Copies of this chain bind each other. A is one copy, B any other.
């Protein structure tokens, strides 16, 4: 095309793009920004590759999805199947097995055997071109035996056994001692079909460009998190009203409790020195009293900044001991990364250029005009982008060196996306095991973009999705629509979030939201204190009163047992541990129910992708009403359960309730009664039926 000399870059993609494959495959998925950013995939998690593929005319063709490992080797090659008849949209599922820079592409080829089999069957049955079709079949099988594909010099011949099968069929196709039907049968036998399936004759083969996938370790998609303020555990008030802070050592003593509930990650709010200038008091009071410890998000004091430990909490040796104890209990440690400073932060003195200086020479506070947040200096990432980038990278390295494997990033949406793009890219290369969770409660475009540039996990709108239909939609959105750019974490509450819904439903709503989070998303999280069903907001704010951000909150964990929540959390994590279907994101299905407050969904993993080698299916039926008895019917979508050929009348489903081991036999439409006083949910695993359970799935072939 008439390429302008002045800007050769602009049409480069067009000029350099290879021709389309001989049989086109377009609109590949998952592709982010045309392949300029990698899509997300996870070790041990099957995901779909899709393409729009079709050919001219009526001849048969095939499309195969090819997953390439970081060394460029073919890790998987799967025949794609039509998922939208008439629209030529094809799909295959694949699963990477180690982290790194993977990629995928699609190959298409003409399938002369399928074409011949169709045409020969039709024509010989109609008595048309009988001898010709038999001879053409014989020649085709000869060509297959020699591995002579049209326009594919790389094609190889099949093994000796397959060659013998083909050669025998060739003889019989040409053996005019038999009837045309008998001769045809030799060419279309299941044995021959088997040979072609194992070693197809791929004429006119073509391959699309490859598209990048960044594959993260399994914890990127699945984990149970528990959030703590380490200073609270073991804190106590002295008779004079002053406090003795909890420490990393006392917090260490709380780890067995957390681990015993089955959590995988313990998330620490910031552990750094806290400033005293404009320190906030209880309930965000503008001035702190002498006994107020300040918010751990007001980071930095003469004792150090983001790379230091608050002396009240202990030392790096204590931190190391904490991490070691956690690790011994099977817990990873996630640390808060809140890139903002108190006015006392050492950077303010050493690097005033990393902040914004006002016309009067002062450093700018955080503001939302006319409101001011005088305890916080936001960083300015544009005055010295290189200097600030290196400082942040270096402090992250400090914590990685001390055993932190996950960073929970506070408010990433208030920092430049490009800063994160660079940091995530460098971290994925230097430390592929380190994960980053984005705490961005903001509009969808920014949330998606943070995922696109590399955040491994994302907080979500889960806490604000409260009605049945919006929960159903959201479950589908995060598990299917955005799963290639954003891995969700469902938190019923956090130290910053206590929604209206949680204030009126009593313990029942805490149970409901915990079940929704633990079963609706492979990553879920609990903020400590949830066990007490603490449901009172600070007036005018969507967060808990007497917030742990501003004060010590030691808790009597024995007393929490009364709510039943600790036992529920433990059970939920145990069920998640037993069921790989619950630890993967993609394969979720919603089932219609007759009641506006009964929600039902299931997760399924077929045998070939299951770590146990067995298919796994879990059906959740949950009441959303913390106040009343609800009853209604569930219409199970059997194909979503991997039971598409199951006949609900003849062969009932055998279900085992994972909470209590009760067994049920269900058909395709079943009645439930749920209440806050008896049971709020069924969480049921699917067991054998007489119709070969989980034998097949429309999405994923076992």
Contact = CB atoms under 8 A, between A and B. Distances in A.
Interface of A: 1-4, 6-7, 9-11, 13-14, 17, 19-22, 24, 26-27, 31, 33-38, 52, 54, 56-58, 68, 70-73, 86-89, 100-101, 103, 118-119, 122-123, 125-126, 128, 131-132, 135-136, 139, 150-151, 204, 209-212, 214, 358-360, 367-370, 372, 378, 382, 413-418, 421-422, 425, 428-429, 432, 443-446, 449, 452-453
A691 B38 CA distance: 52
B123 A370 contact: yes
Contact of A445 (B34, B38, B87, B139): B87
A2 B119 contact: no
Contact of A101 (B11, B33, B443): B11
B358 A132 contact: yes
B35 A86 contact: no
Given A128-B369, A369-B118, A449-B24, A417 B14 contact: no
Nearest to A32: B26
B443 A210 contact: no
A167 to B, nearest CB: 18
A418 B358 contact: no
A216 B656 CA distance: 65
Contact of A444 (B11, B87, B214): B87
A36 B14 contact: yes
A278 to B, nearest CB: 16
A369 B121 CA distance: 9
A6 B37 contact: no
Nearest to A53: B445
B443 A88 contact: yes
A128 B370 contact: yes
Given A88-B443, A88-B446, 8 more contacts: A4-B70, A13-B35, A13-B36, A22-B418, A56-B416, A89-B445, A125-B370, A136-B359
A37 to B, nearest CB: 7
A123 B19 contact: no
Nearest to A86: B443
Contacts of A445: 26, 52, 54, 87-89
A21 to B, nearest CB: 7
Given A3-B101, A4-B72, A212 B11 contact: yes
A31 B27 CA distance: 11
A72 B360 contact: no
A135 B359 contact: yes
Contact of A71 (B6, B26, B89, B369): B6
A132 B368 CA distance: 16
A442 to B, nearest CB: 9
B19 A422 contact: yes
Contacts of A100: 2
Nearest to A110: B382
A646 B378 CA distance: 46
Contacts of A70: 2, 4
B136 A7 contact: no
A382 B149 CA distance: 12
Contacts of A7: 68, 72, 103, 210
Nearest to A367: B119
A413 B56 contact: yes
A359 B150 contact: no
8 contacts: A10-B68, A10-B103, A17-B33, A19-B421, A20-B421, A54-B446, A128-B372, A132-B358
Contacts of A359: 132, 135-136, 139
Q: What are the 3 A-B residue pairs with the smallest beta carbon separation, nearest first?
A: A34-B34, A7-B72, A6-B72
A499 B413 CA distance: 56
Contacts of A68: 7, 10
A369 B429 contact: no
A364 to B, nearest CB: 10
Contacts of A422: 19
A45 B146 CA distance: 56
Contacts of A88: 443-446
B101 A2 contact: yes
A378 B515 CA distance: 62
B33 A26 contact: yes
Given A13-B35, A56-B417, A360 B132 contact: yes
A54 B445 CA distance: 7
Nearest to A413: B56
Nearest to A14: B212
Contacts of A139: 359
B73 A6 contact: yes
Contacts of A432: 2
A216 to B, nearest CB: 12
Contacts of A126: 369-370
A17 B360 CA distance: 41
A164 B58 CA distance: 73
Given A87-B444, A418-B21, A4 B101 contact: yes
A225 B531 CA distance: 74
A33 B122 CA distance: 38
A329 B103 CA distance: 58
Contacts of A367: 119
A452 B103 CA distance: 25
Most chain B beta-carbon neighbours within 10 Å: one of A20, A70, A422: A20
A138 B63 CA distance: 64
Most chain B beta-carbon neighbours within 10 Å: one of A22, A369, A428: A369
Nearest to A360: B132
A212 B10 contact: yes
A34 B31 contact: yes
A154 to B, nearest CB: 16
A72 B72 CA distance: 37
